[in-house]
Amino acid sequence: MRHLMNPLDFSVEELDQLFDLANDIERNRDKYAHACAGKKLATCFYEPSTRTRLSFESAMLSLGGSVLGFSDAQSSSATKGESVSDTIRIISCYADICAMRHPKEGAPLVAAEKSSIPVINAGDGGHQHPTQTLTDLLTIRTLKGRLDQLTIGLCGDLKFGRTVHSLINALSRYEGMRFIFISPDELRIPDYITEMLKDKNIPYEEVIRLEDKMPELDILYMTRVQKERFFNEEDYIRLKDFYILNRKKMQLAPKDMLVLHPLPRVNEISVDVDDDPRAVYFKQAQYGVYVRMALILTLLNIHVD
Ligand code: CP
């Protein structure tokens, strides 16, 4: 039995197979429509979500399976003091696979250790968000045609943004990557990530101004300032609109640069960018369904001919 806690749990070769499967699912939806008949997915979300929870549910329903779960810790027995370890033992009696989001870093890992079904980390605190990373990688691979030889700018809240941490880890395994970290000082990328890049001799820069770096980018990965991780509301208010990507700034970017965003967006991308063909964040959300379908099939060891 396999779990997914971190994007690095899959080798580069396994990820290639997963993305090939996701692309096949996109082209041949009918072929997979009953692949999970009789199987159940539990979504245990102790933190709010729109995309991750609903795309998991959409993925399982599109595979002919069923879904159950909770979308709020307040409606679960966590409010009575039940531990994550006990909860997953119970969920293991009710479902075949579980996607779990939790505000505490490492909680899905604790669950996986006690689980008798595959557990997928659907986001743990400011730590990791591996299925968002699978979504991001599939989007880049499909629309750019490659996952190597890319200059990627990551902009916004690089301190608390778990999607950013997961994505850098995953992309650091591909050849010819160059990272440009664009953030205010207070939201800089954590040192453990820059240390990892130094150890691997992967080039990176840290800058404050987005406009200066736009012409160099193959990918611009925008992120929202993570209000829920701030201790002090004044700091959040001061930083929340630090970057706003708009149509004027997009004129500085190469014609084939892609703009990704894990969403939800707040103000960091103006709606006037949405019609730009380089803005692919809504397509990205659709790829999230295909890759989660591929992941469910892979973890349940279901093969479709
Ligand atoms: N991208 C993402 O994780 O969105 P949700 O918080 O809505 O799941």
Closest ligand 1 atom to residue 52 Cα is: 8
Tell me the mean pLDDT in the region 253-263.
98
Percent pLDDT > 70 in the chain is 99
Is the pLDDT at 85 greater than 90? The verdict is: yes
The residue ranking higher by pLDDT, 212 or 239, is 212
Q: Sheet containing 66-70: give its strands across.
A: 66-70, 40-45, 97-102, 119-124
DSSP secondary structure, 64-98, as one string: T-EEEEES-GGGSGGGGT--HHHHHHHHHHH-SEE
Render pLDDT for 246-257 as a digit per residue (tens, 0 to 9): 999 999 999 999
Peptide bond into 264 cis (omega under 30): yes
Residues 253, 273 contacting (CB under 8 angstroms) = no
Q: Is the Cβ atom of 264 under 6 angstroms away from ligand 1?
A: yes
Query: Does position 228 have pLDDT exceeding 80, yes or no?
Result: no
Q: How far is 290 from 135, CA to CA, in rounded Å?
A: 8
Comparing CA positions, the residue from 170, 89, 88, 97 lying closest to residue 129 is 170
In the chain the first and final C-alpha atoms are separated, in Å, by: 22
* pLDDT at residue 227 greater than cutoff 90: no
Q: How far is the CA of 49 from the centre of ligand 1 (A)?
A: 5
pLDDT value of position 298: 98
Active-site residue, selected from the candidate residues 51, 102, 165, 224: 51
- Take atom 4 of ligand 1 and give the residue whose Cα is closest: 51
The residues near 190 (Cβ < 8 Å, ≥ 6 apart) are 158, 159, 165
> From ligand 1's centre to the CA of 222, what distance in Å?
14
12-28 exposure pattern, b = at least 16 Cβ within 10 A, e = fewer:
eeebeebbebbbebbee
Atom of ligand 1 nearest to the CA of 262: 1
| Residue of minimum CA distance from atom 6 in ligand 1 | 49
Q: Ligand 1 pocket: which of 51, 128, 260 to mutate (most atoms <8 Å of CB)?
A: 51
101 is catalytic: yes
Q: How far is the centre of ligand 1, averaged over its atoms, from the C-alpha of 209 (Å)?
A: 26
> Angle at Cα 80 formed by Cα 47 and Cα 99, nearest 5°?
35
Cβ of residue 288 lying under 6 Å from some atom of ligand 1: no
Using the structure block, give the residue that is written with the tokens 């293991």: 92
Given the residues 39, 43, 52, 141, select the one marked as catalytic. Answer: 52
Measured in Å, residue 103 CA sits from the centre of ligand 1 at 13
Residue whose CB lies within 8 A of the most ligand 1 atoms, among 45, 46, 52, for a mutation test: 52
Q: How far is the CA of 26 from the centre of ligand 1 (A)?
A: 21
Q: What is the pLDDT of residue 97?
A: 98
Which one has a higher pLDDT value, 295 or 236? 295
Q: Is 102 a catalytic residue?
A: no
Is 129 considered catalytic here?
Answer: yes
Write the residue with the smallest CA distance to atom 3 of ligand 1. Answer: 52
Across the beta sheet with 178-182, what order do the strands follow? Answer: 204-207, 178-182, 151-155, 219-222, 258-260
pLDDT at 127: 87
Rounded Cα distance, 12 and 132, in Å:
16
What's the rounded mean pLDDT across residues 94-112? 97
Give the three-class secondary structure for 151. strand
Model pLDDT for residues 10-55, shown as the tens digit of each residue: 999 999 999 999 999 999 999 999 999 999 999 999 999 999 999 9
* Percent of the chain with pLDDT strictly greater than 90: 90
The residues, any chain, with a CB within 8 Å of residue 16's CB and separated by 6 or more, are none
User: Does ligand 1 come within 6 angstroms of the Cβ of 52?
Assistant: yes
Does ligand 1 come within 6 angstroms of the Cβ of 50? yes
Full-model pTM: 0.95
Q: What is the mean pLDDT of residues 265-292?
A: 97
Indicate whether residue 284 lines ligand 1 (CB < 6 A): no
Judge whether 218 and 258 are in contact, CB under 8 Å.
yes
Residue-wise pLDDT tens digits, 179-193: 999 999 989 999 999
Mean pLDDT, rounded, of the chain:
95
Average pLDDT value for residue range 75-93: 96
Question: Residue 203 has which token pair?
Answer: 């080039």
- The per-residue pLDDT for range 134-181, each reduced to its tens digit, is 999 999 999 999 999 999 999 999 998 889 999 999 999 999 999 999
